[in-house]
Copies of this chain bind each other. A is one copy, B any other.
């Protein structure tokens, strides 16, 4: 039994965060994790460093690293960036996707549908819907965009965990399949538009209001 690499540890912690096992605010204590994975603090520190670099965790000097709690403003930034990138991305994907790619996409949305209809697999669904967008980046063949999308998806998953309205249907069930339809039809414009509205739907299904919680007007409260 070989020792886990810091990369593997990074993956394990990240997965735990995505699966809601480590909710936002949880401190990632180095020595504790080191014991758990039977490695030294050094490797754990490295893994945590990467999480911090990707904004999944936040470092407070001399205090420790904590699973990030993106503010509503940061959440809006993430969705803004996604709306900036992904519609264009899917437009080009529609042009260069091969039948093999379409097949991959179909298989993926099928897995999403399965996870959606099977009870007790909701957190899996969050990861899966994120993976759909990453898959699109992978089809584009651009490793830089893959990395960017991975980062955005991880943050989005955190945001959904924080701001999801439990009763709200945050991801209309047919938007991903319809996107694949547009891609298969080589209709880049429609795909881009669908992606744009899809991202808007996801964002608006969250309870990100009020715009600025810090802007509570003390004077008016005690008037």
User: Residues of A at under 8 Å CB distance from B?
Assistant: 46, 49-50, 53, 55, 74, 77-78, 80-81, 84-85, 88-89, 92, 142-145, 148, 152, 155
> Which of these, B46, B144, B152, contacts A144 with CB under 8 Å?
B152
| B142 x A80 contact (CB < 8 A) | yes
> Which of these, B50, B77, B84, contacts A92 with CB under 8 Å?
B84
Contact residues in B for A89 (Cβ distance below 8 Å): 84
Q: Which 6 A-B pairs have the closest CB atoms?
A: A81-B144, A84-B88, A77-B142, A77-B144, A81-B145, A80-B142
Of chain B, the residue at the smallest CB distance from A80 is B142
User: With A50-B53, A84-B88, A92-B84 known to touch, is A77 a contact of B143 (CB < 8 Å)?
Assistant: yes
Contact residues in B for A80 (Cβ distance below 8 Å): 142, 145
Q: A74-B143, A85-B88 are in contact. List 15 more A-B contacts (CB 8 A).
A: A46-B49, A50-B53, A55-B144, A77-B143, A77-B144, A78-B144, A80-B145, A81-B142, A81-B148, A84-B88, A84-B89, A84-B92, A84-B145, A88-B88, A148-B148
